[in-house]
Amino acid sequence: MDKMIKDGKVAILYSPGFGAGWYTWNSDHPEMVFDKEIVSAILQNYKDKALSLAAVKYPEAYLGGLDGLEVMWLDEGSQFEIEEYDGSESVHLIGDKKYLLA
């Protein structure tokens, strides 16, 4: 799994907006949370490019969560969970009760 890592932080993708999750609606493709090419496209605000990449790399995936997709940086080696409520994903560190916000 090719991850984007900078300054000891790893980029993860999640969709905090209501409607559709990115990772939680595609649990058959856990690598989607770390996809380096899609992270790069989102960071550059190239959502059309991100959609094209995702469609090719994950043809069976539901890509509705891409509309509100965001990048969060976590310390490398952090254990985390992504939970979903009504399509809105939230990230929290395992063992930590508070949710992380972008």
Q: What percent of the chain has pLDDT over 90?
A: 76
| Burial class of 93 by CB neighbour count within 10 A (0 to 12, 13 to 18, 19+) | middle
Question: What residues contact 16, with CB distance under 8 A and at least 6 apart?
Answer: 68, 70, 88, 89, 90, 101, 102
Read off the pLDDT of residues 7-53 as tens digits, 9 standing for 90 and up: 999 999 999 988 899 999 998 999 999 999 999 999 999 999 999 99
The stretch 3-8 carries a mean pLDDT of 95
Range of the domain at 29: 5-100
Read off the pLDDT of residues 55-67 as tens digits, 9 standing for 90 and up: 999 999 999 999 8
Q: Print burial letters for 19-49: b (CB count within 10 Å at least 16), e (below 16).
A: ebbbbbbbeebeebbbbeebbbbbeeeeeee
| Total domains, the chain | 1
pLDDT, residue 95, reads 73
pLDDT, residue 87, reads 86
Amino acid letter for position 86: D
